[in-house]
Structure 1
C-alpha cells in the first residue's frame, strides 16, 4: 500500500513538473524547437543521403569492370595470301564474320579522377547543407517578433491592472462622497465607465496575446497554453563587441572550397589512366585470321589511355572557376557591408532607446507625483472625477511609453545578436 502511494506521488510530481515546463518557455528553447520542426530541416537529411549514395557509387569505380559485347559483320573484301605453295592450301576467310566477347578490366591508376570527384561531392554536400542552415537561421527573425510581441502584451496587461487599481481607488472615494452628498453620482459613473474601458483593453490585449501564442505554437510544433510564461532574454553587457559568426560566412567559405576541389578535378581529368584487362570470346575468325572456322580466343594485357581533348577546354574551365570565386568574394563583401550597416543601425537604436527610457522614468516620476496630488484633491472634493482621470491616464500613457521603449530596446539588442549570429 505504501509503495503504491509512493508511485502515485512520484507520478503526480512528474506530471506537475512537466506541466510547469510546458507553461514556461525561453527564447533559446523557442529557437531549438522551431529549428527541429521547420520543414527545411528534412532537406539536410536528403543532402546527406544524396552525398553518401553518390560517393558509394564513385567508390565502385575502383572495382573490376565486366563488359560483354558481340557483333556480326559483312565486309567487301578479306585478307588473302597471294603466294601459291605446292601442297599447301590457304583458306580464304568468309566475308561474313561473327564475334562474341567478354572483357574484365581493373583500374590501376585513374589520374586521381575518382578521388577528385569524391572531394567535389563532399564539398558540395557542405555547401548544400550550409544553404539549408542559412534558410533555417532566418526563422529566428520571425521567432523574435512573436516572442517579444508576447512579452510586450504581458507588460501592457500589467500596466492596465495598475491603472484599474488607481481607478478602483477613485471609485471608492467618490462613492463615499456620493453617500455623504458631497459629490454627484455622475462622477462615480464616469470612473466606473473608465474602469469598463480598461476591462475592454485587457480583453483586446489577451486576444492579441492568444493569436501570437497560437502562431508561435505552429512554429515550434508544440501546443502552448494561453497562460504560457515567457522568460525575458538576458543580453550580455559585451553586446557591441561580439564578432559576426553568421552561417552565411561558413557558406561562402564552403563555396570557395568547392571551387578549389573543382579545380583539382580539372587537373585529374587531364592525367593518363592505366588498367589491366583480359578479353575472352568466341567467333569466326578468331585471332588467326587465316582460320575460317569458329574458335575460342583470349587477350590479356595492360591498357594505357590519355584523353588529350580535355586540354582544349581546361583553360576556359579554370577561368570560369576564377570568375565564380570572384562572385563569391563579392557576395561575401556585400553581406558584410549589409551586416555592419544593420549593426550600426541597431547600435544607434540601442543608444537612442536607452536615453528615451531615462527620460521616460523622469516623466513617470513627475506624473506619479501629480496623480498622487490629484488623488488627494479628489478625496477632498477639490477636483472632479474627470480631472482625476486625466492625471491617471497621463501617468498611464507615460508608463505605456516606457514599456514600449523597454521592449523596443530589448528587441534592438536581440536583433543585434541575431544579426551577428550570436543569438
Structure 2
C-alpha cells in the first residue's frame, strides 16, 4: 500500500515537472536569451582584460631591478698636468669596463598609476554597458517571436470555432438531403469549406513550428512543438513609468570615463620621485685616479619632472570636452527618439483599445445574424452559401478582435521595452 502511494506521488511529481517544462513565460525567455546570447561572453572578457591591466599597473610600485654593463675605449683620459714630488698617480687606462645593477623603488608617480587604474575601471564599465545595450536589443526580437506564437494559438482556436459551426451546418443539411428538402451540392459546399479550414490549421501550425524553432535558437533550448506560452501581464502603471534604458547608463559611464581621463592628463604633468641603489664592479670605479678594478655603490633619491606634456595638455583637455559634449548630444537625441516612440506606442494603445471595443460590438451583431442564418438553414430558407457567408463574416470579426488584442498587448510590451522597464 505504501509502495503504491509512493508510485502515485512520483507519477504526479513527474507530471508536474513535465507540465512545467511545457510552459514558458516571457520573462523566462528573456533570461534564457540573455544567458546564451554570444555577447554575454564579451562581458566576462572585458572584466578579465581590465583586471589583468590593473594588476600590471599596480606592479609599477614594486621594486625594479636592472643590470647593465659596458666596455669602452676612449681617445684620452683625465690626468694631472704637473708632477707632485713624492706622489705617484697612475694614468687611467683608455680601455674602461663596468658592470652594475640598480635597484629602484618608486615613491611618488604624480598619481599616474591611480589615474590609469581609474581609466581602466571606467573603460571596463563603458564596454560592459555596451554589451548590456546589445543584450537589451534581443528583447525586441523575443517580443516578436513570443507574441507571434500567441497570435497563431488564438487564430487556431478561432478556426476550431468556425469548424464547429460548419460541422453543425453539415449535420443539418445532411438531414435535409436525406429528407429530400436540400440538394447534395449544399452539403458538399459546407464540406469543402470545412476542408479549407483544416488547411488553415495546417498552415498556422507550420507557422507556429517555425516561430518556436527560431525562439529555441535564441534561448538555446529546444522547445517542444506544443510549448504553451503564458500570456504576459502588463502593469497598470504603464504610462507613468520613466525611461530606464541601458543606453542612459552607457552615456553616464562615458562621461565618467572622460572625467578620469582628464585626471590622467593632470597626473602626467606632475613630478616623479624614487629611491635607488646602484652597485657594481669596474675599472675605474668611483675613484677615477685608481686604475684598478674595484667594487662601488651609490644610493640616493631621484627626482624626475618631464615638462614635455605641457605642450599638449590644453589640446587634450579640449578634446575630452568635445567628446563629452558629443555624448551629451547623443543622449539628448536618444531621449528625443525614445520619447517619440513612447508617444507613438501610447497612441497605438489608445487606437487599439477603441478598435477592440468596436470589434466586440461587431461580433455581438454578427453572432446574432449567424444564429438567425443557422435557424434559416435548418428551415431551408437560405442556402449553404448564404450560411457560410454569415459564418465567415463572424469569423472575420473575431479574427479582427484576436489580431487587435494581440497588437494591443504587443504595443504595451513594446512601450515597456522602449522605456527600459521590461
Partner of 2:39: 40
Q: CA deviation at 1:45?
A: 0.5
Partner deviation per Cα, 1:147-186 (whole Å, 9 max, x = no partner): 0000000000000000001000000000110111100011
Whole-angstrom CA distance in 1 between matches of 2:192 and 2:295? 110
* SS in structure 1 at match of 2:97: strand
Task: Provide the residue aligned with 1:113 in structure 2.
Answer: 112
Deviation at 1:93? 1.2
Residue 417 (structure 1) shift: 0.3
Aligned to 1:320: 319
The residue aligned with 1:19 is 18
Query: How far is the alpha carbon of 1:354 from its aligned partner?
Result: 0.9
Deviation at 1:293, TM superposition (A): 1.2
Residue of structure 2 in register with 1:335 after alignment: 334
Aligned to 1:84: 83
Query: Are 1:397 and 2:393 matched, yes or no?
Result: no
Q: Deviations over 1:256-289 (max 9, x none)?
A: 0011000111111111111111000111111111
Distance 1:355 1:408 in 2: 12
Match of 1:92, SS?
A: coil
Deviations 1:343-381 (A, max 9, x none): 111111111111111111111111111111100000000
Q: 1:283 aligned to 2:282?
A: yes
CA offsets per residue over residues 323-355 of structure 1, 9 Å max, x none?
110111011011111101111111111111111
Distance in 1 between residues matched to 2:401 and 2:50, nearest whole Å: 54
Write out aligned runs for 1:97-112 (5 A).
97-112=96-111
Q: Distance in 2 between matches of 1:6 and 1:91?
A: 110
Report the Cα distance in structure 1 between the residues aligned to 2:134 and 2:67, rounded to whole angstroms: 49
- Corresponding residue for residue 378 of structure 1: 377
Separation in 1, partners of 2:52, 2:74 = 46
- What 5-or-longer segments of structure 1 have no aligned partner? none
1:227 maps to what in 2? Answer: 226
In the TM superposition, 1:298-317 aligns within 5 A as 298-317=297-316
Aligned equivalents of 1:16, 1:118: Cα separation in 2 = 55
Aligned residue in 1 for 2:61: 62
What is the match of residue 355 of structure 1?
Answer: 354
Query: RMSD of the alignment, in Å?
Result: 1.2
Greater mean deviation of Cα atoms: 19-28 or 8-17: 8-17
1:236 corresponds to which residue? 235
What is the CA-CA distance between 1:228 and the residue it aligns to? Answer: 0.7
1:130 lines up with 2:129 in the alignment: yes
TM-score scaled by length of structure 1: 0.98
> If the length of structure 2 is used for normalisation, what is the TM-score?
0.98
Number of equivalenced pairs: 422
Distance 2:315 2:10 in 1: 71
Report the Cα distance in structure 2 between the residues aligned to 1:7 and 1:389, rounded to whole angstroms: 54
| Residue ranges of structure 2 left out of the alignment (5+ in a row) | none
What aligned pairs does 1:92-241 form with structure 2 within 5 A after superposition? Answer: 92-241=91-240
The structure-2 alpha-carbon separation of the partners of 1:6 and 1:122, relative to structure 1 and needing over 3 Å to count, comes to: farther
Q: Distance in 2 between matches of 1:86 and 1:287?
A: 25
Shift of 1:6: 6.3
Secondary structure, counterpart of 2:274 in structure 1: strand
Deviation at 1:197, TM superposition (A): 0.4
Deviates more, 1:54-63 or 1:145-154: 54-63
